Amino acid sequence: MDAPAVQTVNSIFHEPWWLTAATNGQYQEVTVEDKGKVVGRLPYLSTQRGPFRISRMPPFTHLLGPMIDSGAGKPQTRLTHRLSIARELIGKLPAFAHFEQQFDPAMDGGLAIADGLAFQDHGFGVGHLYTFELDCRKELDSLWGAMHLKTRQHVRRAEQKYATRSVVDPAIFTEFYLRNIQAHGRTNVMDFERFPAIFAECKSRNCGEILAAFADDGSPVAMVYLVWSGTTMYYLLSTRRPDPGDGGSINLLLWCAAKYAHERRLIFDLDGVYSSGAARFLSGFGGEIKSRLSVRRSGAVFGAWQYIKRRTAKYETAHFT
C-alpha cells in the first residue's frame, strides 16, 4: 500500500514499507485529501479475535496514530485545521469491537497532542504512556556527563569485560531472546514471525541494527535491536542472559547506541517506560521524560467477553495447576 505520504511524517513506524513488513501487507489506512493531496493518514491493522473485529498495534510497531499536515498560518488556524482532519480520519475507521493505538504527541511541532481531543470527542479513552529521550545531537562529553554516576560506572566495567559488535542474522537474535526468556522463567509474549522481514527492510535502508555484547569466550551476553528514521533512533528490543555476574551489558549497549545516534545527529528514544523500576534504570542515562498518548475504545460486549476470559483463566489457574 503506497498512499502518498503526509509531509510531516517523521516516524519510521508510519512508513508503508515498515507496515507492510510488520503485517505481511495486511495493514490498511484511512486518508483525508485536500485538492488531490493527502493531508491525513491513519494506518491500522484489523484482526479477528473470536467473533470480534479488533485493531491493535502491529508487531514491533511502537507508535502509530494520525499523521496530519496541519498546514500554514497562525497556531490557532493550524490547530483547528488539524482537529478537523483528525475527526474526519477517525470517522472513516471501520466499526471495531476494540481499537487501541499509541502515538507521539510531539510530532508536527507538538500539535499532535491535539489528536487526543479528536479521539476523546469520538468516545475514546485517552491516557498517557512514558519514555525517555536523549538529545544525541549534543557533544558526547555532554551526554556522558549527564548520565548518573552509577550508570557511568556500569558502562566502564562492562567495557572492560565485553566486546561489542553488530549481528547480521536476525535468527541469532530471536534464538538468544527466546532462550533468555525461558531461562528467566518468563512467558514469551513476542511473536517473531515478522521480525526477519522487518530486519531485512531496515537493513536494506541502513536504518536498523542488532548490537551485541560478547564475553571473552565469544558467547553473547546481551543484545539490543535499534531502528531509526531521519530524526529519531528507537530502542526497540533488548535481551540478556541471566548471569548474576553481568557487569552492566545493557548499560554498555545503550551507551553504544547513544554514540550511534550522535554520529547520525538523532534523538535517541529509549522507547517505553512501563514500570517505576524501568524508569529508574533508564533515567540514569540522563534523558528527559516524555509522554505518549494512548487511545482506546471497547464495545460493551467485547469488554464483557474479555472479563469472562480473565475470570475463567484465573479459575483454571487456581484449580487445575
Counting residues of the chain whose pLDDT is more than 70, the rounded percentage is 90
Q: Which residues contact 207 (CB under 8 A, 6 or more apart)?
A: 12, 227, 228, 229
Q: Which residue has the cell 502518498?
A: 4
Rounded to two decimals, what is the model's pTM?
Answer: 0.89
Res 314: pLDDT? 44
- Mean pLDDT within 250-266: 96
Q: Coil, strand or helix: which one is 127? A: strand
Of the candidates 54, 34, 58, 38, which has an alpha carbon nearest to the alpha carbon of residue 46?
Answer: 54
Of 133, 132, 75, whose CA–CA distance to 108 is shortest? 75
What amino acid occupies position 116? G
- Range of weakest confidence among 54-58, 102-106, 266-270, 306-310: 306-310
How far apart CA 240 and CA 224 sit, in angstroms, is: 9
User: Between these two residues, 299 and 283, which has the higher pLDDT value?
Assistant: 283
User: For position 58, what pLDDT does the model report?
Assistant: 96
Could you tell me if 294 and 119 are in contact, meaning their C-beta atoms sit under 8 angstroms apart? Answer: no
Q: Report the pLDDT value the prediction gives residue 319, as an integer from 0 to 100.
A: 36
Per-residue model confidence (pLDDT) at position 317: 36
Distance CA 270, CA 292 (A): 13
Domains of the chain (ranges plus CATH)? 12-132+292-320 (3.40.630), 137-265 (3.40.630.30)
State mean pLDDT over 219-240: 95
pLDDT band of 186, cuts 50, 70, 90: confident
Looking at residue 245, what DSSP letter applies? Answer: T
Q: What's the pLDDT at 3? A: 55
> What mean pLDDT do residues 221-239 have?
95
What's the mean pLDDT in 267-288?
Answer: 87
| Higher local confidence (pLDDT), 306 or 154 | 154
- Backbone region of residue 25 per phi and psi (left: phi > 0; alpha: psi in -120 to 50; beta: other values): left
| Predicted confidence (pLDDT) at residue 139 exceeds the cutoff of 70 | yes
pLDDT at 276 over 70: yes
Backbone region of residue 166 per phi and psi (left: phi > 0; alpha: psi in -120 to 50; beta: other values): beta
Polymer length in residues for the chain: 321
Confidence of residue 5 (pLDDT cuts 50, 70, 90): low
Contact 45, 26 (CB under 8 A): yes
246: confidence class by pLDDT, cuts 50, 70, 90 = confident
Calpha distance 177→184 (Å, rounded): 11
Average pLDDT over residues 68-77: 88
How high is the mean pLDDT of the chain? 89
Q: Which three cell numbers stand for residue 278?
A: 524501568
